[in-house]
Each structure stands twice: as structure tokens, then as C-alpha cells.
Amino acid sequence: MNAIPPNHMLEATRLTREGKLTEASALLQRLLRGEAPTDTAPAGPHDPAGPAAGRLPRIIDIDPETGEASGPAPASAAAEPRTGAAGRWPADGLGKTAMPQMPEALRGFLGQISQGSLPQDLGGLMQGSVARAADPLPDGAQFVARSFSSDAGSRGYKLYIPATCRGEAVPLVVMLHGCTQSPDDFAAGTRMNLLAEEHGCIIVYPGQTQAANAQKCWNWFSPEDQQRDRGEPALIAGITRQVMRDHAVDPKRIYVAGLSAGGAAAAIMAQAYPDLYAAVGVHSGLACGAARDVPSAFAAMRQGAAAPQRPGRAGATEGNRRVVPTIVFHADKDGTVHPRNGDQVIAQSGAAGGLRTEVQRGQVPGGHAYSRTIHADAGGRAVLEQWLIHGGGHAWSGGSAAGSYTDPRGPDASREMLRFFLEHSQSTESA
């Protein structure tokens, strides 16, 4: 392995961490045979030729028509996929991928990269080159690692406490990352910590594990993980309540938001725990109950769900079935999660009806045009808000290039979500 040039090792590391094992395997095997690598891999979200060249970064690299993970043709029989067409290996696009056949030593090395454990002679170089430098914290602010355990399992999380908090009860925002992301990555990309300083909010970022899902996706398509007090909803609610116990949090101003698989998980949390969360933000996600297994998940991602589960059937009790104010962001060129899913999130959230609708259109200077649909109650307050970004892809709108899977061309989803959240509290919503 020491004969492999460092820049090619970094490329193999990037491909592996993004779940593109066929590409990483083929690259390493070509290099070990002394062959020059071919320039066939698509630019990644952090490559100089990525967003600047107009590529749309995607969290799950799947073909929206076939539901398969795509990659260049294998360089040799050792890299052939177990099944499927040449150049592809079977994947459900939801974190449950089958590693292609390859020499055992190479398989083990790729596994080390995926887990972040590299040989001693390469580890410092790899980790130092791939890891992003953390932004300096304002004086008095904290960004700390914590963990939660219960009968449902355990998860780590990162907690941001802004310097502006002085002991008074403040809002809490729960942020659920997308596939292959981490709490630190999601915080950097959304810049939610910076907004927390402006508005005096605590932000918590639960972290999914590779043990639970190979690509660290929240398992939104699993029936076990769509119900109140079970599976991952129980873990996310448990983390929320632990932060409430440990810090000064206003129980009437707790919110949940997420991207892609995290957005689908946020939609589930709103339906399963309407008594806990005052409002929800769903970015490039799917409605609660959009899928019950892997095949139906692919179908929903490609074209929208056949029949999303209606509010109240995810485990909420008769006494806590309220319409949870919802803000949705989705791009009309999203090739990973069809934008029809954003419509379905709004339809599910607004089941009570009786809202007035207004459509506004705008343009980010030098960025995307967008349509903003507001569904307001009789008092003129927006209960549902839907942003459709024209020409955007599967990425956090208005995010920072310091994080993965962001589109800095806006509009600013983080700022708009937080603005929408702070307009709502449990005390102002009808039960």
C-alpha cells in the first residue's frame, strides 16, 4: 500500500466513505498493478470540479430509474459485482449495500477506510487531509459530544450551546443528518450553530451509526422505525428529552428538522410525537409512512409514495393528535428523492384543511429562483410553508461548502426554517 501515491489514496478514501466501493476497489487494484488510473470517477462534493462545474451533489448515488448504485466498469474480474449489469453492484440506496467481490486483503483495507481506521503510516496523512478544520467557537459557546442509551439502543450526538444562553429557557432544534453524513458535517453544512448564536437556541445533532445502517441513513423505511416509543423514533425522542433535562429548554419551543433520510425521519417524529415537537422542517425528504420496506422505498424515492400514512397512525395517541406546523424545502431537479414527496409531506401535515393559500416567487441574486407556497390560518399565520427550488438538486439549500451535500446558491433553508420554527410554539397551537 505504501507504493500508492497519497493523492490516489485520498481519492480511494473519498470513494469508500461515500459508499462507492466498486470504484474504490477498481482504483486500488489498478494502482497496485502499476497501471495509471483512469479519470472516470465523477467529481465529489468536495472536488474542485464538483459544484463549481454545475454538478448536483447527491446523498445517495442511485439511478432514480433503476434504484441501483452506479459506478465505472470494473477494471478486472476481481472487481466484478456479484450480480447485475457490468459497472453496477446491487444496492438498495438506503445504506444496505453488498460489497463487491474482491481480494480479502483489499476488502479489509477498504473496511478500515470506511470505519476511519487506517494503517499507522497512512492514518495521519489521510485524516489530516480529509477532515475539515472546525470553526472556532465564540467565547462562551460549547459544541460537545454526548450519548444517550435506553431499551431502544444507544446513539451519540453533538450538542451546541450558544454563548448567548444565560440560563433562561431557550428553544431547542433537533437536526437529523442525511446518509453518509455526521453531526459535525451536518452542522458545518447547515450553519445552524451560527444561527443559534443569533437567536439564542440550543441545537442537537443525533448521529446515526454504521452498525444501524451501512451508510448512516436513518431507517425511515422500516416499520419498526416509524412508531412512537419504538426503534429510532424512541432514540431521537430520548435524546430530545435528555437535553431538556440537562439544560434550560422551553418545552413549548422544541423543533425537529432533517435532510433526505433525516428529513423523512423528521416527518416521522412530527407524526409520532406531535406533543413534543412544536414544528418540523423536511428538506428533500419523504412523508411519514411513505415506505414499509426497501422496494416501496425505492418506488417512493423515484416517483412519490403510493399512499403515505396519514397523521396520527404513527403512534400518536388520541389526546395529542395536532397538526404540526411544517416547512418543506425540495428542489425540482432532485434526482434522488422525487419532488412529489415534498407535496406529500405538505398534504399529510395539512390534513385538517381550512387554510388559505398564497404563492410567492423569488430569485436569489446569482442563485436559484424559487416558489414559496404559504398555507395560512384564519389569523394569517403560516401553518404550512413549501419552498420549491428551481434548478436545484439533492442538497441543503443555501448551505455552506464547509459541509457535504449543500447548494450555496440558496435560498437559505436554515435561516428560513428557524424563522418559521420561532413563529410557533405548543401554547399557540390547537390540540
Distance, in Å, from the CA atom of 368 to the CA atom of 90, rounded to the nearest integer, reads 34
pTM: 0.72
Domain ranges of the chain: 6-130, 142-428
Is the pLDDT at 341 greater than 90, yes or no? yes
pLDDT of residue 7: 56
pLDDT of residue 167: 84
How buried is 121 (Cβ within 10 angstroms: 0-12 exposed, 13-18 middle, 19+ buried)?
Answer: exposed
Is residue 213 classed as helix, strand or coil in its secondary structure?
A: coil
Lowest average pLDDT, out of 39-53, 231-245, 407-421, goes to 39-53
What mean pLDDT comes out for the span 116-123?
A: 36
Rg (CA), the chain: 21
Which of 352, 338, 259 shows the shortest CA–CA distance to 305?
338
Is the pLDDT at 408 greater than 90, yes or no? yes
pLDDT of residue 412: 98
Nearby residues of 377 by Cβ (< 8 Å), 6 or more positions away = 354, 355, 356, 383
Mean per-residue pLDDT of the chain: 77
What mean pLDDT comes out for the span 149-164?
A: 96
- Per the model's pLDDT, the better-predicted residue between 381 and 131 turns out to be 381
pLDDT of residue 166: 82
What mean pLDDT comes out for the span 21-47?
A: 52
Is the pLDDT at 124 greater than 70, yes or no? no
Is the pLDDT at 85 greater than 90, yes or no? no
Distance, in Å, from the CA atom of 20 to the CA atom of 14, rounded to the nearest integer, reads 9
Percent of the chain whose pLDDT exceeds 70? 64
Greatest mean pLDDT among 53-67, 321-335, 385-399 lies in 385-399
Is residue 351 classed as helix, strand or coil in its secondary structure?
A: coil
**How many beta carbons lie within 10 A of that of residue 6, not counting itself?**
11
pLDDT of residue 404: 94
What mean pLDDT comes out for the span 37-59?
A: 36
**How many beta carbons lie within 10 A of that of residue 109, not counting itself?**
21
Q: Give residue-wise pLDDT tens across range 162-211.
A: 998 888 999 999 999 999 999 999 999 999 999 999 999 999 999 999 99
Cell of 93: 440506496
Distance, in Å, from the CA atom of 141 to the CA atom of 193, rounded to the nearest integer, reads 10
Distance, in Å, from the CA atom of 62 to the CA atom of 336, rounded to the nearest integer, reads 7
440506496: which residue's cell?
Answer: 93
The pLDDT-based confidence of 120 (bands split at 50, 70, 90) is very low
Lowest average pLDDT, out of 24-38, 68-82, 409-423, goes to 68-82
pLDDT of residue 137: 87
Distance, in Å, from the CA atom of 206 to the CA atom of 247, rounded to the nearest integer, reads 16
Q: Give residue-wise pLDDT tens across range 276-289.
A: 999 999 999 999 99
**CATH dotted code for 142-428:** 3.40.50.1820
The per-residue b/e assignment along 306-345, b for 16 or more CB within 10 angstroms, e otherwise, is: eebbebbebbbeeeebbbbbbbbbbbbebbbbbbebbbbb
